[in-house]
Amino acid sequence: MAGNGASGDYAVRFEAVQKSYDGEILVVKDLNLDIARGEFLTMLGPSGSGKTTCLMMLAGFEPATHGEIFLNDNPINNVPPHRRGIGMVFQNYALFPHMSVAENLAFPLQVRKMNKSDTEARVKRALEMVELGAFGGRRPAQLSGGQQQRVAVARALVFEPDLVLMDEPLGALDKQLREQMQYEIKHIHENLGVTVVYVTHDQSEALTMSNRIAVFNDGVIQQLSSPEDLYEHPDKSFVAQFIGENNKLHGTITKIDGKKSCEVALDDGQTVKALPVNIAGVGEKTMLSLRPERVVVNPKRGECPSVMDAKIEELIYLGDHIRTRMRVGDHDDFIVKVPNTYGHEPLKEGAKTKIGWHTEDARALDWYTGTIDPGMDD
């Protein structure tokens, strides 16, 4: 959703926002973005993509080089951070170690001159919201990492801001606790209806928590969509590679049949069919994106319009599915996820087989050969 200058509908608007640190290289390029009230929007991208810079400009910690940022229809470029009324949650928690949990939560209320009884009531309610009602008297050092992060979330919400910004808030947690906190933050958002702008390099985190995801690369939003649409219908090869696991096949467009089908001569000489999504025309290079779970192993005659020879190189049992690495053409890293269901034909390493797919499951996209390093920082 691009910025359109409309008022009243959005919590946040970026209008033609640019950011340069040296006056020459743009870290953020002409960002136009509307964030709806109550939305959970995640800025997702690899290191250096500009996502954290956007969050820092919204928070007021970095000035925009060009353009305007609006909060509740009010321009905030010249408003200092402490007057923006925004809650912040960082990866390192940023709790005061000499204060108790309750004192940490009370601090933003005291800064806003709230009276003692209202402060105590809000602190109590915030602690109960994150299920830490009995921990108000403890110091941060007496809490686990997950408990400290809950306190940080509660502190960001205790003064009831319209907007909460979260910058890699779960990056320091182990995998199990991280996944647990994803659901807890998601449920808190759903219950309160507060607007959340979340920054992460973790695609699964973004898919789990968000209403919409803005995928950044090189200072530009490559695609802005719901998690399902982003995964199922990537518009660009960069997005297809960055979101979820993806098989890449490179080739040249030889025929286009309207919007439903195109023929692609692969680099190894085989011809297959795909859905034309983002291609220049006949004779141009393309990258086919094919999700591992969409590939059919040993398809029945006539089941799939595109069929290729394959050799099973490796089988990894993962419970609900068997991760199968195959050699397909000149690729030895073609991945197929075979559901672990009764009645499927046993797979054997070294065996030759065939694979196929439905035309709409292979997306013909722009030519992109760059490598993607998720990274941690901007």
In the chain the domains, ranked by start, together with CATH numbers, are 10-232 (3.40.50.300), 247-365 (2.40.50.140)
User: Is it the case that residue 293 has pLDDT exceeding 90?
Assistant: yes
What confidence tier does 372 reach under pLDDT thresholds 50, 70, 90?
Answer: low
User: Is it the case that residue 343 has pLDDT exceeding 80?
Assistant: no
Q: What is the mean pLDDT of residues 175-190?
A: 87
How far is the C-alpha of 281 from the C-alpha of 363, rounded, in Å? 14
Res 377: pLDDT: 47
The token pair at 193 is 């209806």
**Burial degree of 280 (CB within 10 A; 0-12, 13-18, 19+):** exposed
Res 376: pLDDT: 45
Question: Angle at the Cα of 22 (from 5 to 163), degrees rounded to 5?
Answer: 40
User: Is it the case that residue 4 has pLDDT exceeding 50?
Assistant: no
Res 269: pLDDT: 86
User: Is it the case that residue 300 has pLDDT exceeding 60?
Assistant: yes
Q: In degrees rounded to 5, what are phi and psi of residue 31?
A: -80, 120
How far is the C-alpha of 288 from the C-alpha of 280, rounded, in Å? 14
User: Is it the case that residue 274 has pLDDT exceeding 90?
Assistant: yes
326 close to 299: Cβ distance less than 8 angstroms = no
Res 8: pLDDT: 57
What confidence tier does 371 reach under pLDDT thresholds 50, 70, 90?
Answer: low
The CA–CA distances, whole Å, from 281 to 22, 126, 162, 235, 284 equal 39, 56, 47, 16, 6
Res 1: pLDDT: 35
Res 342: pLDDT: 64
Return the higher-pLDDT residue of 332 and 93: 332
Return the higher-pLDDT residue of 5 and 318: 318
Res 373: pLDDT: 57
User: Is it the case that residue 284 has pLDDT exceeding 80?
Assistant: yes
User: Is it the case that residue 51 has pLDDT exceeding 90?
Assistant: yes
How far is the C-alpha of 267 from the C-alpha of 182, rounded, in Å? 42
What confidence tier does 369 reach under pLDDT thresholds 50, 70, 90?
Answer: low
Q: What is the mean pLDDT of residues 286-292?
A: 95
How far is the C-alpha of 99 from the C-alpha of 155, rounded, in Å? 13
User: Is it the case that residue 247 has pLDDT exceeding 70?
Assistant: yes
Residue among 75, 81, 73, 69 at smallest CA distance from 31? 69
What confidence tier does 93 reach under pLDDT thresholds 50, 70, 90?
Answer: confident
User: Is it the case that residue 6 has pLDDT exceeding 60?
Assistant: no
Q: What is the mean pLDDT of residues 168-178?
A: 84
Res 3: pLDDT: 41
Q: What is the mean pLDDT of the chain?
A: 90
3 close to 34: Cβ distance less than 8 angstroms = yes
**Burial degree of 369 (CB within 10 A; 0-12, 13-18, 19+):** exposed
Query: How long a stretch of residues is the chain?
Result: 378
What confidence tier does 344 reach under pLDDT thresholds 50, 70, 90?
Answer: low
How far is the C-alpha of 202 from the C-alpha of 172, rounded, in Å? 13
Longest dimension (CA), the chain: 76
